[in-house]
A and B are shown apart, each in its own frame.
Chain A
């Protein structure tokens, strides 16, 4: 990155990666199944934890208003 002499190699839009197009198209048939399962279950766990704390710890400690 010799800053005052920019080189095209630094421009991400112009640098192709070595990912094979066909391979990418192949994996894109399954993606984002795993991501949806992983992220979905994590977020669901968060909300379940929230509801449990709300109902089992917060409410029994006495209401505030």
Chain B
């Protein structure tokens, strides 16, 4: 009853339940938008569904998965009990109650405002209050992660924090910084407007505050995948991590550069000048650095494994890797999707060129590849890896696991590659139906059908994933738990404080945020946007 296993499993099952429902909704949405589904459903139903899909995937799957995985890491990597376990349960229940509070108004059609908070269109106050509770629950997790690491450091002076915990705490700190923007927007602008306490809203300010959160939140979702790349994948492949130091630097760079770049989501907005937009585009250039470092470090780690297994030549090591292991397979597929998604992102961030693709299917393709593809396929792999530890049971067969990962990869590629093409031709986002009688839109029809087929494959994969987990709960007991976390080629024995904690980096984040967001926010204090009247959906 008191075990951390229960805590982790509770979080993970909430995450994956929301995920499965959201997959069904997403597939239905693609059907409605395709030429096959004309006259199916109504716009009211469609936007209700999009809201539920976005909230479940972006806020519930991610937050609950990251919390559950974080608790697992804190206990297994630090090899000490989790501090403040009752608090962890409090965070869980706050999140779950918040989720239910948000879902009820969505289902009643009183929050069909999508999962982004863009007043003056506002939904029911319960929707926002529920989501604030989810975030507040995750703040408890952040504090527990920080405390767990601090206590371990006190007990182990001079020893480097295990990389996997260092990465998890980096993500917790990143999340605290990230949520500051959206929490301010919700508490001071959106919730008073939804409650009817105020009749107007400063839209320029609300968009700017949301942009504070909008980019870093995606890194919050991605960092568990990166954590797995550095700490789980090399061991699963039978090798060593190429460099522990670079792992630490990578997570530090993510903390530094994923925040002061949010205005690249507002490149097409009229409330910011070109100057601040350019500065944040430049900083966005730097947020690619930790990803590109990861690609090299992890490739090198895999190369170690491949060569240890007898691979030769420049590329022979790739074939020699144990692709039959889900973690290795998922990492390989995740990198392919990261490549395509990263390419889309490179186009998005390119200042004026953003105009070519902003708010088109290109963007939807980009974040489905990066988050739905790379991050979520690693969530699957992590779940497959830690579930035996959580349940004390072993997978009876790895074949259905591999099939599920392959289906997810194929479905994602078939769904998103047409979206890039459609986006370049101007297919816009967030619509319930297209007029396929229009000569321009008519040409898009076949590609929309292809992407719908990809959606069906994704749905099959999602259902297979849940089945695999259910089967595991009834599988034979695990004989001996395998060690999970990879060693580095040269394990660190001593590291500078800068690479063993976050004091310096928090100061630098504060400075960067002041420089990057000081003027964009201050301008609304000097000259507020002319007030816009709130439009309430309720």
Contact = CB atoms under 8 A, between A and B. Distances in A.
Contacts of A13: 159, 162, 491
Interface stretch (B171-179, B206-214, B310-318, B404-412): B310-318
Which 4 pairs of residues, A with B, have the shortest CB-CB distance? Answer: A35-B299, A3-B4, A12-B485, A32-B300
Residues of B contacting A: mostly: helix
Contact of A17 (B2, B159, B235, B342): B235
B242 interface: yes
17 contacts: A1-B76, A10-B79, A12-B164, A12-B231, A12-B484, A13-B162, A17-B240, A17-B487, A24-B489, A27-B307, A34-B306, A35-B242, A35-B300, A43-B292, A50-B346, A58-B352, A65-B352
A19 B308 contact: yes
Contact of B162 (A1, A12, A37): A12
Interface of A: 1-4, 6-13, 15-17, 19, 23-24, 27-28, 30-39, 42-43, 46-47, 49-50, 53-54, 57-58, 61, 63-65
Given A27-B307, A34-B315, A6 B343 contact: no
Contacts of A36: 296, 300
Contacts, number: 138
A33 B343 contact: no
A2 to B, nearest CB: 7
Contacts of B343: 46, 49-50
Contacts of B4: 1, 3-4
Select the residue from A12, A43, A50 with max chain B CB neighbours within 10 A: A12
Contact of B356 (A1, A19, A43, A61): A61
Contacts of B239: 19
Interface in B295-340: 295-296, 299-300, 302-304, 306-308, 313-318, 339
A49 B347 CA distance: 9
B249 interface: no
B82 A3 contact: yes
Select the residue from B307, B424, B489 with max chain A CB neighbours within 10 A: B307
B5 interface: yes
A50 B299 contact: no
Contacts of B306: 34
B81 interface: yes
A58 B76 contact: no
Given A16-B487, A19-B240, A49-B343, A34 B79 contact: no
Nearest to A61: B356
Nearest to B77: A12
B315 A38 contact: yes
Select the residue from A17, A23, A37, A39 with max chain B CB neighbours within 10 A: A39
A23 B307 CA distance: 9
Contacts of A47: 346
Contacts of A50: 343, 346-347, 350
A2 B3 contact: yes
Nearest to A6: B79
Interface string B336-377: 000100110011001011011000000000000000000000
B307 A31 contact: yes
B483 interface: yes
A32 B303 contact: yes
A28 B239 CA distance: 11
A34 B314 CA distance: 5
A43 B239 CA distance: 24
A39 B80 CA distance: 38
Contacts of A11: 77, 79
Select the residue from A2, A35, A43, A49 with max chain B CB neighbours within 10 A: A35
Given A37-B314, A38-B315, A42-B339, A3 B483 contact: no
Select the residue from B81, B299, B306 with max chain A CB neighbours within 10 A: B299
Contacts of A10: 75-77, 79, 481, 483
